[in-house]
Structure 1
Amino acid sequence: MLVIADHVRLADAGMVRVLGVLDAAAVRRWAVTCVDALEASREEIDRINVYPVADGDTGTNLLHTMRAALEALVRADAENAVDAGAAVAALARGALAGARGNSGVILSQVLRGLAEEWAGAAAAGGEGIRKALVRADALATAAVADPAPGTILTVLHAAAAAARECDGDDLAAVVVASSKAAADALAETPRQLSALAKAGVVDAGGRGLVVLLDALAEVVTGERVERPIGPHRLPRLAEDLHAEREGGSAEFEYEVMYLLDGSDERRTTKLRAELAALGDCVSVVSDGTPEGAGLWTVHVHCNDVGAAIEAGVEAGRPHRITVVRFADQVEAAPKRFVRDRAVVAIVDGEGIAELFRGEGAVVVTVPPAQPLDTADLLAAISGSRAAHVVLLPNSTHFNVVVDEACAQATQAGQDVVAVPTASAVQGLAALAVHDPARRPGDDVVAMAEAAAATRRGELLIAQREALTWVGRCQPGDVLGMVDGEVVLIEPASAVTSAACRLADRMLAAGGELVTAVLGAGAPDGVAEALAEHLRHTRPEVELAAYPGGQPDAVLLMGVE
């Protein structure tokens, strides 16, 4: 075999082009190959889906998510010519919007890793793949509240580690090393998760990821990799061989299960009778395949394990044999939801974050000068591990992200409701009336009513000249706003007087409590001056002032 400078490999089978870089056309071929490969593997992957829930849909979810990604890329390509960076960005957007199930969300984060590392790049080589896998590993891990070994995350981590440790920046070498490491890690997953060991399968999500990486290797090298799913005969741990008794007499201490082939209706009828003489809860069920080629599932509760297996040997060829002892006490499986209720709040200042944390909320902090990411919000909702979640957006700028996260979390089985809070002061008012002892629906109504009853104001610094309802402002002016409308303009040096005027304006319609949250740019003494002003003008009004640290608003104000 000879490798020449333009990355064309000459082999006995003919000429196979080996890519030196991935451009937009190669990304498209990879996406198409992924969809085709997942379609071919979907039923197999669904069949081995036993963790965390044996719902048999991981392959279907991955295929649905990848199809959505490909459709987004096709639309983007039709609208304008795209480079590799734009192509993977379109894939990531499509996957996130169409993600189905936990495996789909993790796939969207893998594609997001590529998009972040290849932004603006016409093409990507081995170094680009290396950085993208490392970033994808970090994003996918962050998207899962309680990562467990032996899952798709373990397989992705192995692929990223292999890429990071690969010598040189040759694209084919990095891709092949990553796909091989992923396959090796997948084979080890039954040793890491007892549910997989008991079923004799590898992790379904990890298998799907190996399919995607093998598809990438095929596009880069021109050589297809076949990795059939087979039974995994691994030593089972003691806890794998205990089970709760689902029925039958307490006289029998063992559950025996196996698959049987090479048999027929006459022999399986005899087997059924022999097992009934040995124990109870007997079932010998065919898959419906014509005589002589069928597969039977055999199940019995008994004490004589050897006799149950020997009966199967006489009836055909037993395999995937499992013998489980019924335990007197079996620890309950970990629950997905460990509490009934939680509140998730979006904030943009550390001081505000501490306020919400102090009231028991799960906090999602928006990074400075960066958009809120749907995956980060979804991770916080899922990570709360609560069956019912109330989401406080505390801004009108996050509506699209909030809607997407709520829809995905609801589809995944959580009850998530967003209370319309346009400011942190409204969020605090809603949180103050939150009562976990109430029915979820009633609690949401009470929180929404408290938020709506809180008038919101803020002081901002004008960034440019503009015409407002109360006149023209210049850059640096202090703008006082109530419910999103400018109601006063003060010079840059008059933040304190602007705060007092804003309080007077908001209290004109009545109120008993003023909440002031000081931003990062608030001058010293504002809270004290506002307190002194209210003591003289509104002695019946209570003031609660907190350091918020928000970067944009000099002051947030709420009146109740």
Structure 2
Amino acid sequence: MPQSPDDLDAVAVRTWCSLALEALGRERTAIDAINVYPVADGDTGTNLYLTVESAAAAVEAVFAAHETGSTVPAPADAVRAMAHGALIGARGNSGTILAQLLRGMASVLSESGDAHHLRTALTEAAAAARLAVAHPVEGTVLTVATAAAEAAAATEGSTGIEAVVEAAYEGARTALAATPGQLAVLGRAGVVDAGGQGLVTVLGALLEAVGGRARERAVLPAPEYLPLTGDCADTDPDDDGPAFEIIYLLEAPDDAVARLRSRLDALGDSLVVVGGDGLWNVHVHADDAGAAVEAGVEAGRPYRIRITHFAADRVRADRDPVQRAVVVVVPGDGLAGLCTEAGATTVLARPGEPPASGELVDAIRRAHAREVVLLPNDALLRHTAAAAAEQARAEGVRVALVPTRAAVQGIAALAVHEPGRSFDEDVVAMTSAAGATRYAEVAVAEHQSWTMAGICQAGDILGMIDGDVAVIGEDVPGTARTVLDRMLSAGGELVTLILGEDVPDALADELGAHIREGHLAVDTVVYRGGRQAAPLLIGVE
């Protein structure tokens, strides 16, 4: 058993994040099942998992910045990374509140992680979370956080952080057990608050991290029945409550955010705005999703916008599962639309922001199918996709991972997908189509570096074939022509061109003419990829 640390250092923070992610991974399905407030959409456990996954990834990045195992990050760097990662990755009402709790803790723990500061950190976290919620309600995660802070404060005089965390954990458990008596919708469903249960899980992981012993794991009851109308009528799935959940990150000054809160509060409910220092995570339920986003535009620069239609989610949850679905990762919104039209469930990989395994599992669940073919479309996502597939299999879904390394391979695989044949035959056909597709991209070098084609300078145009730099050019059209000639020298029947957001249509016309001049029997198809990392993606089948 590891020795209990005297304070919450960087290694303990890293361990906490890892254990919390592991615990939420085990319990998120059960937490999803008891999610009846504020909206019975069954995603609280998943949202908490995705939020902690982002926090853990940020902490790992801080550790990765240290080149040897002989040094570790400063504790302040670790706790700030944890809070920042949770902020940018926060999902749903519960994840957004958890992000603010972690941010409140980090503001104190960045000074010291001793027992005194930990008690203060828990108090600051509970207060910050309440301030972030427009209309706090008792019997929720806010109540549980306050109870944890009060229990920790009662250990004043103790010098060990394990005693502080254990008191906070037990205080949170006691408060959680009382939530059905505080919130009518929970009492009618016979469950505790899902967000509060998630916080207890996270605090249990902290206790395990500092004490070296696993906490008792509770068995969560499933809801006995749906909430009824009455004093909590806004949680009834058949009422006239807001139709959309809107979440986005926002770069804006504090005074603009104060005005934003007032405007969003008038538009809807479940308003939570967390963050500071110019970066905020905004969450609201509203009927007018466009107005909620426009309010963010007036305040600053909103991005990573997610809009979920509650009614559509309920329809998906109520219908019988389909036999087979395809989940595909796409590098731009243009391809997302194309793949959606083809019947696939899509996950958007934004430039510099690859999806986490939890997002892939979430997409597999949204597909609502007994059998799923997963197309990661990126060699770097191989392990992430494998972890997601394993998690989904544990939940009873038959998942086949086709190791596509590029979007053009995913398109080729999706083109031959045929749900009417057997699962194995379909997977073989899709794998063969992907494997028969060579891929390339034309990108801009960000800095000087050694490549297989020589030394490139920042701003050079790189032609990468099958993942390796094959051409260093001066402009996109010339580099693209050279790449196409090299790829087609080995033969080909179909060229796929995917244009980035700012690439003119004239480039596709020029490249199409070049292909016809040298390769008469080769057809060309062109798609708009939208905002993607590379100006041009190329596939040759």
- Superposition TM-score, scaled by structure 1 size: 0.52
Aligned CA distance change for structure 1 residues 51 and 208 (closer, same or farther; 3 Å): closer
Which of 540, 543, 549 is the matching residue for 2:521? 540
Aligned residues of 2:10 and 2:73 also touching (Cα < 8 A)? no
- Per-residue CA deviation, residues 6-44 of structure 1 (Å, 9 max, x unaligned), is xxxxxxxxxxxxxxxx96279979x99xx9xxx9xxxxx
Provide closer, same or farther for how the CA distance between residues 108 and 443 of structure 1 changes in structure 2, counting only shifts above 3 A.
Answer: farther
Q: CA deviation at 1:79?
A: 8.2
CA separation in 2, counterparts of 1:532 and 1:81? 55
After superposition, the Cα gap between the structure-2 partners of 1:526 and 1:192, relative to the gap in structure 1 and judged at 3 Å, is same
The structural deviation recorded for 1:348 is 2.1
CA contact (8 A) 2:445 2:459 kept: yes
Gaps (5+ residues) in structure 1? Answer: 1-21, 40-46, 53-61, 94-105, 138-153, 220-227, 239-333
Matches within 5 A, 1:160-179: 160=142
Displacement of 1:521 in angstroms is 4.6
Q: 1:369 Cα shift?
A: 2.8
Q: 2:382–2:403: 8 Å Cα contact kept in structure 1?
A: no
> Could you give the per-residue CA deviations for residues 454-494 of structure 1, whole angstroms, max 9, x where no partner exists?
01111111222233333332221211121112222211xx3
> Residue type of the partner of 1:158?
T
Rounded Cα–Cα distance in structure 2 between residues aligned with 1:520 and 1:422: 21
Work out the CA distance in 1 between the residues paired with 2:427 and 2:131: 40
Q: In structure 2, do the counterparts of structure 1 residues 27 and 479 end up closer, same or farther at CA, with 3 Å as the change threshold?
A: closer
1:83 to 75, 90, 97: 75
In 1, distance between residues paired with 2:471 and 2:226? 73
Matched, 1:503 2:484: yes
2:278 paired residue number: none
In the superposition, relative to structure 1, how do residues 395 and 27 fare at CA in structure 2: closer, same or farther (>3 Å)? closer
Q: For residue 437 of structure 1, what is the amino acid of its counterpart?
A: G
Indicate yes or no: 2:434 matched with 1:445. Answer: no
Gaps of 5+ in 2: 1-5, 24-29, 36-47, 64-68, 86-92, 113-120, 155-167, 209-217, 229-316
Q: Kindly tell me: are residues 108 and 532 of structure 1, through their superposed partners in 2, closer, same or farther at Cα, counting changes over 3 Å?
A: same
Residue of 317, 326, 339 corresponding to 2:322: 339
Deviation at 1:211, TM superposition (A): 5.4
Q: 1:513 aligns with which of 483, 494, 508?
A: 494
For 2:125, the aligned partner's letter is G
**Cα separation, 2, equivalents of 1:110 and 1:48:** 16
1:354 Cα offset (Å): 1.4
Shift of residue 417 of structure 1?
Answer: 1.7
DSSP-derived class of the 2:530 partner = coil
Is 2:11 the counterpart of 1:24? no
Provide the rounded CA distance (Å) in 2 between the counterparts of 1:556 and 1:236: 48
Alpha-carbon distance in structure 2 between the residues aligned to 1:501 and 1:524:
19
- The reply on whether 1:549 has 2:538 as its aligned counterpart is no
What is the rounded CA distance, in whole Å, between the counterparts of 2:441 and 2:447 in structure 1? 18
Q: Is the 8 A contact 1:343 1:390 kept in 2?
A: yes
One-letter amino acid of the structure 2 residue matched with residue 390 of structure 1: V
**Within 5 A, what are the aligned runs for 1:479-498?**
479-491=462-474, 494-498=475-479
Among 392, 396, 417, the alignment partner of 1:409 is 392
Q: In the aligned structure 2, how far is the partner of 1:531 from the partner of 1:217?
A: 58
Q: Does residue 123 of structure 2 align to residue 126 of structure 1?
A: yes
Contact 2:413 2:431 in 1 (8 A): yes
- What is the CA-CA distance between 1:408 and the residue it aligns to? 1.3
Aligned to 1:158: 140
| Residues 1:434 and 1:473: Cα distance change in structure 2 (over 3 Å) | same
Contact preservation (8 Å) 1:521, 1:551: no
**Equivalent position amino acid for 1:186 in 2:** P
Contact 1:406 1:416 in 2 (8 A): yes
Q: Distance in 2 between matches of 1:454 and 1:79?
A: 45
Partner of 2:234: none
Distance 1:428 1:157, change over 3 A: farther
C-alpha distance in 1 between matches for 2:10 and 2:487: 59
Q: Percent identity?
A: 34
Query: How many residues were matched structurally?
Result: 363
Residue in structure 2 matched with residue 466 of structure 1 by the alignment: 449
Return the structure number with greater relative CO, CA threshold 8 A, min gap 6: 2
Deviations 1:426-462 (A, max 9, x none): 0000000011111111111111100000011111112
Q: Whose Rg is larger? A: 1
Post-superposition CA distance 1:353-405 (Å, at most 9, x none): 11211211111112343342222222111122111111111101112221221
Residue 84 and residue 111 in structure 1: after superposition, are their counterparts in 2 closer, same or farther (change >3 A)? farther
Show the counterpart of 1:185: 179
For 1:366 and 1:353, how far apart are their aligned partners in 2? 10
Q: CA deviation at 1:421?
A: 0.6
CA distance in structure 2 between the aligned counterparts of 1:155 and 1:418, rounded to whole angstroms: 43
Cα separation, 1, equivalents of 2:179 and 2:370: 33
